[in-house]
């Protein structure tokens, strides 16, 4: 039975224009569409943000409907541990999980990392994304970002060798990581990996389609390969040990920070390096992921840098250095 002091769950869809456009192998977009969950109780508001991803059959409307379906359970006192079984992993659960964590921190008057017994995040270098395009266009973008220490280069299949050579020439001092977004095939895998290795790339992310990536276990990998679409939560880790050296943990895939932290612990125990990643979104999406950065070898939380503007009280970015969130934003 609910009462006047019961938590109240509200969900909203928001659109945030991107500065220019953001292009990967699956297409381009000019705005980030996010879903925000707010859990209100005793005058306090806990917030969480997610980005429903069509690659996994998600839409903003379906995520919002999934949140609204949880309103009664939240009013009846659902906590984030019970939430893990009450909703499947995915974007909607992420927004609610993070909102409940934010509310928990606000009610206690403590920072969330202290409540969870985790290391406090510190300022760290985030990757900055170079969108997929022609070699000259990508070289121009890389040249303008060449002062940044870590660039994440989106590739897309045919012509990727030329693209990565152009980016390397334009940004000779930056560390490069590559994201193929499942666009390579078994026939061009070794050629593209060799081109990346020749360009001094440190890591290649998800070169082959999820579920068709066993070829990675049969070749000599000349550089680190990281799973993204192939890995979602802890249950998907064990099967990837022969194919990948690292895993990209994104809260929208794990279904929230609660599972993401447990997944990071499990991944490290299995010998994986960790990347903490994001979708293009506001600082409200990035803030919870900052708790994963003490365990991460690579941090890719540049979503707000790709927007025309961020929400109020967003994360502080000094070029590629990102700072932990203030409590007024989250946690």
Q: Decide if 191 is catalytic.
A: no
**Residue 14 and residue 32: Cα distance in Å, rounded?**
8
Q: Are 112 and 289 in contact (CB under 8 A)?
A: no
**Residue 77 and residue 316: Cα distance in Å, rounded?**
34
Strand partners, 48: 37
**Residue 280 and residue 25: Cα distance in Å, rounded?**
15
**Residue 43 and residue 171: Cα distance in Å, rounded?**
50
- Tokens for 239, please give them: 């099967």
Angle at Cα 96 formed by Cα 43 and Cα 273, nearest 5°? 130
Neighbours of 117 (CB within 10 A): 6
**Residue 92 and residue 107: Cα distance in Å, rounded?**
23
Length of the chain: 331
Catalytic residue among 29, 106, 152, 154: 154
Catalytic residue among 29, 169, 191, 250: 250
Contacts of 195 (CB under 8 A, 6+ apart): 160, 161, 164, 165
Q: Are 280 and 32 in contact (CB under 8 A)?
A: yes
Strand partners, 227: 247
Contacts of 181 (CB under 8 A, 6+ apart): 24, 25, 26, 154, 155, 156, 205, 206, 228, 229
DSSP at 323: P
Q: For helices 257-269 and 91-108, what crossing angle results, to 10°? A: 100
Query: CA nearest 230: which of 257, 206, 246, 251?
Result: 206
**Residue 90 and residue 52: Cα distance in Å, rounded?**
8
Q: Which residues are catalytic?
A: 154, 250
């Amino acid at each position: 039975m609910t009462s006047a002091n019961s938590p109240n769950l509200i969900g909203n869809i928001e659109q945030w224009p991107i500065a220019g456009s953001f292009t990967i192998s699956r297409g381009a977009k000019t705005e980030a569409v996010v879903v925000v969950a707010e859990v209100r109780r005793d005058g306090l508001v806990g917030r969480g943000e997610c980005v429903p991803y069509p690659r996994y059959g998600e839409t903003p409307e379906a995520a919002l409907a999934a949140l609204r379906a949880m309103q009664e359970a939240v009013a009846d006192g659902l906590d984030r541990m019970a939430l893990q079984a009450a909703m499947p992993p995915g974007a909607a659960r992420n927004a609610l999980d993070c909102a409940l964590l934010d509310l928990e921190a606000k009610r206690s008057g403590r920072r969330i990392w202290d409540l969870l017994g985790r290391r406090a995040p510190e300022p760290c270098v985030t990757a900055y994304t170079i969108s997929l395009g022609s070699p000259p266009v990508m070289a121009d973008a890389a040249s303008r970002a060449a002062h940044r220490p870590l660039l994440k280069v989106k590739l897309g299949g045919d012509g990727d060798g030329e693209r990565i050579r152009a980016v390397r020439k334009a940004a000779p001092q930056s560390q490069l990581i590559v994201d193929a977004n499942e666009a390579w095939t078994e026939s061009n895998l070794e050629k593209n990996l060799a081109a990346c290795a020749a360009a001094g790339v440190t890591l290649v992310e998800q070169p082959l389609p999820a579920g068709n990536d066993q070829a990675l276990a049969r070749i000599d990998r000349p550089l680190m390969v990281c799973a993204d679409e192939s890995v979602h939560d802890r249950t998907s880790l064990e099967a990837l040990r022969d194919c990948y050296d690292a895993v990209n943990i994104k809260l929208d895939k794990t279904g929230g920070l609660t599972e993401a932290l447990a997944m990071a612990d499990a991944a490290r125990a299995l010998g994986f390096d960790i990347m903490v990643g994001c979708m293009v979104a506001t600082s409200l999406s990035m803030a919870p992921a900052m708790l994963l950065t003490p365990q991460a070898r690579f941090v890719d939380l540049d979503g707000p840098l790709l927007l025309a503007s961020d929400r109020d009280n967003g994360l502080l970015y000094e070029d590629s250095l990102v700072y932990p969130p203030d409590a007024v934003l989250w946690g």
